[in-house]
Amino acid sequence: MFRHAYVHVPFCARRCSYCDFSIAVRRVVPVDEYVAAAARELEVRFPDSATLSSDSLATLYLGGGTPSRLGGEGVARLLDVMRGRLTLATDAEVTVEANPEDVSREAVRAWRAAGVNRLSLGSQSFDESVLRWMHRTHDAAAIGNAVDAARAEGIANVSLDLIFALPERTQRSWENDVARALELEPSHLSLYGLTIEPHTPLGRWHRRGDVTESPEERYEAEFLHAHDALSAAGLEHYEVSNFGRAGMRSRHNSSYWSGVTYLGIGPSAHEFDGQVRRWNVGPYAEWLERLSEGRDPIENREELTADNRGAERVYLGLRTIDGLALSAAEVEHVQPWIRSGWGAVDAHNRLVLSPLGWLRLDALAADLTLFGSRY
């Protein structure tokens, strides 16, 4: 039924200034409580174990929050819970998101023994003042130390996250951050433009006038610089926000962009069974309470209509370098885009956006969806 699984681990030591995710700030992480609740969700939602055993999982992703705060033993126990109800393919990609300060050789050794073979590090920046401004709990040196620990204990597939388009007041050098990241020779990088969400510390600073959003010109310049620098270093810009070395694309994230089924476990986790998208309640305490009462922690569900599917097909297709197959009428419609340098159409009428086109992704996808609905 499901070929991919996402497990949301909400715990964080502190809320980052830009974060509006479903997290639970805890000085002491309730590992036993959380792992038992994750097991209970599987039991409540899938009482017949055969429901989940019919297919082998191609990917399993522990995201958050900060899954690494479960520690070496906690991650191993959570993976045991998942394996108790799900079968992992022998070559499954098993990813743990981690903050650099949680990554020790001892922890990595436990994760590796439990089957983890990919680490996604929330590095965000190598600038000490920027890390403090972001409310990150690590320093720049911890990033390199974490990469070294992962490789020393057998996890070679390491991805780094970086955030670009910061406010001018941070005086951050994006060029330096990209260069520092490349020095670590990661197998993968994910880059995200900063967005100001209202219910965050950054949102409050913005309302007070303490910070202003980065202008579109800087956003574009930093995005294009990253494309040029990372491409020159041998990483493939295979999706709007993602770069990977040969054979090192994120298989889990790629599943979202290809529209296949995926399971979601944990507070705020989303799931798609091919027809219906559902998502769990976000607050950890509410998720925990529902499960303690034997109730499904679902918050809502959405059955995709034909129009939904059409819009998603266009949007997801344009996100990656695999592109989107067009009709003859659509090929003619996008010719102005081609002349503007926003993409190219190959001999098989497949449109692939350029980095300039990706900067306009939302508008281009909406335009093409509207055009397609008329034919």
**Each residue's pLDDT tens digit, 100-141:** 999 999 999 999 999 999 999 999 999 999 999 999 999 999
Lowest mean pLDDT of 53-62, 151-160, 319-328, name the range: 53-62
Q: Could you tell me if residue 301 is inside a domain? A: no
Domain ranges, residue 130: 4-258
Give me the pLDDT at residue 372, please: 80
Question: Are the C-beta atoms of residues 226 and 176 closer than 8 Å to each other?
Answer: no
Check whether residue 126 and residue 27 sit in a common domain.
Answer: yes
Percent of the chain with pLDDT strictly greater than 70: 98
Check whether residue 84 and residue 150 sit in a common domain.
Answer: yes
Give me the pLDDT at residue 51, please: 54
What confidence tens digit (pLDDT) does each residue in 229-274 have?
A: 999 999 999 999 999 999 999 999 999 998 899 999 999 999 999 8
DSSP class per residue in 295-327: ---EEEEEEPPHHHHHHHHHHHHHHBTT-EE--
Instruction: Identify the band that residue 53 occupies on the pLDDT scale cut at 50, 70 and 90.
Output: low
Check whether residue 245 and residue 337 sit in a common domain.
Answer: no
Check whether residue 244 and residue 326 sit in a common domain.
Answer: no
What confidence tens digit (pLDDT) does each residue in 277-308 have?
A: 999 999 999 999 999 999 999 999 999 998 99
Direct distance between the N- and C-terminal alpha carbons of the chain, in angstroms, rounded to an integer: 33
Q: Could you tell me if residue 275 is inside a domain? A: no
Check whether residue 310 and residue 162 sit in a common domain.
Answer: no
Q: Report strand pairing: 56-64 vs 87-98.
A: parallel
User: What is the sign of the dihedral through the CA atoms of 273, 252, 259 and 316?
Assistant: positive
Give me the pLDDT at residue 49, please: 64
Give me the pLDDT at residue 39, please: 97
Check whether residue 77 and residue 225 sit in a common domain.
Answer: yes
Q: Could you tell me if residue 281 is inside a domain? A: no
Question: Are the C-beta atoms of residues 8 and 265 closer than 8 Å to each other?
Answer: yes
Chain CA centroid to CA 305, Å? 25
Check whether residue 110 and residue 245 sit in a common domain.
Answer: yes
What confidence tens digit (pLDDT) does each residue in 196-237 have?
A: 999 999 999 999 999 999 999 999 999 999 999 999 999 999
Q: Quick check: helix, strand or coil at residue 23?
A: coil
Percent of the chain with pLDDT strictly greater than 90: 92
User: Pick from 258, 287, 316: which residue ends a domain?
Assistant: 258
Q: pTM higher than 0.85, yes or no? A: yes
Statement: residue 91 has pLDDT above 80: yes
CA-angle at 227, arms to 173 and 338, nearest 5°:
135
The token duo for 116 is: 């983890």
Average pLDDT over residues 149-164: 98
Mutual orientation of helices 105-113 and 140-152 as an angle, nearest 10°? Answer: 40
Q: What is the DSSP letter of 274?
A: S
Average pLDDT over residues 23-49: 94
Instruction: Identify the band that residue 54 occupies on the pLDDT scale cut at 50, 70 and 90.
Output: low
Check whether residue 251 and residue 348 sit in a common domain.
Answer: no
Check whether residue 250 and residue 108 sit in a common domain.
Answer: yes
Check whether residue 251 and residue 314 sit in a common domain.
Answer: no
Q: Could you tell me if residue 129 is inside a domain? A: yes
- Specify the CATH number for the domain of residue 137: 3.20.20.70
Average pLDDT over residues 339-368: 97
Question: Are the C-beta atoms of residues 143 and 191 closer than 8 Å to each other?
Answer: no
Give me the pLDDT at residue 140, please: 97
Average pLDDT over residues 343-363: 97
Instruction: Identify the band that residue 50 occupies on the pLDDT scale cut at 50, 70 and 90.
Output: low
Whole-angstrom distance, CA of residue 127 vs CA of residue 115: 33
Report the mean per-residue pLDDT for the chain.
95
Lowest mean pLDDT of 6-20, 39-53, 137-151, name the range: 39-53
User: Could you give the number of structural domains in the chain?
Assistant: 2
Average pLDDT over residues 330-338: 96
Whole-angstrom distance, CA of residue 226 vs CA of residue 164: 9
Query: 28 has which bridge partners?
Result: none
